[in-house]
Structure 1
């Protein structure tokens, strides 16, 4: 199976590190012209380094930041809505402001970019839109329900936009990523387990205590998420749309999402 994205332009949001950075690298390796998004010019330039990638800075959780990205990149063939925030929080202490922040960042950022780019894809008769969701969309974690609910919303958003694009040659999907090994997740793990533990022991304790239903029994590497995203971005995935595709290590204990 050979994936060739030559001649296609892709935008990955929140792509200066973690899953987003792995997705940008995977798309570029498949031949796409890839734009890397992050909140600041400095963070984006540092992430790109000497690679042949496009800098598309702007905080897309805001309307102004999204406009900055659209000015630099008016059209794309592949849109990967990866930007997201997460953190452990006592449910009854989550404020209205925090709920709004999570929806602005995790949901509306993707909605506003889809609204901007989808019409062009439909008029050209080809395109790919993806939302990076989470196992937390289906199994709401007690320690961060605001995050989980925002990811649940993405499943509905992607299904709805898939209906908007029906019959156009554009596919819209969400990717349910399982517990993944990133720098941010390492910090999150240490919020929940003994900080004195070495990382390997801390990871095992976290999975045993907080994610015991994982069939993989380890954190997923970002490149493993990127592999699915690259496939869904390709012509090979032409019949997959309106779906919630799982790369969760068997975490969600259900036949369907």
Structure 2
């Protein structure tokens, strides 16, 4: 699918979805519009449908401001390299939810999804953060220890929704939408964008990833997680693998033998 077709498809699907709760301020109205346009234009994320991003119900909170502020930035691109943890002082946090085209509450359905063309175990060796046209994303470098399904290179790059936005970009977007706004965010800090409540991955994490090829221009050979952050399982202290998620019937925890068996059933 070419870029124009992708934009058109995302636009049609976005218009069919009921947006989140009504924005409570002119700032949030501006942010929701920006978020929708950015997702349609960029086509990023594992099937994120733009109009369903619930910026209206998101909260940005931080030590430098009490009211809601925007999590999106003006059209710009920035990359922040970081081995582990936040790239700098966090001045606000944004909790972003979305409706996904590929959503699998049951782990078996995720592992057997036709969208997956690789399932791997490995260790995260590097983490970097990217801000492109107001969308925060995280880039994982993963040393693959085993291909449970499909075949990948020994070292792969995986793009994940969520990450960090420079506060200076957030401030610029606020002023562009409403010149009367006087944000109190420290422009030298960062906004923590948490997508679907997922903890940010760290260097050294042992993971199982359910992957699909990244279709975005310039990312040939890279991957995205199927069902966005729900396609990443991280080894916890109890020795089991856990993904983000909640709600009745949503499965979050499993063990490696079960994941291996599900992946093998695809062959």
Q: TM-score range by the shorter chain?
A: under 0.3
Q: TM-score by structure 1 length?
A: 0.26
> Structure 2 length as normaliser, TM-score?
0.26
> Which has more helix, going by share of residues?
1
Higher percent of residues as strand? 2
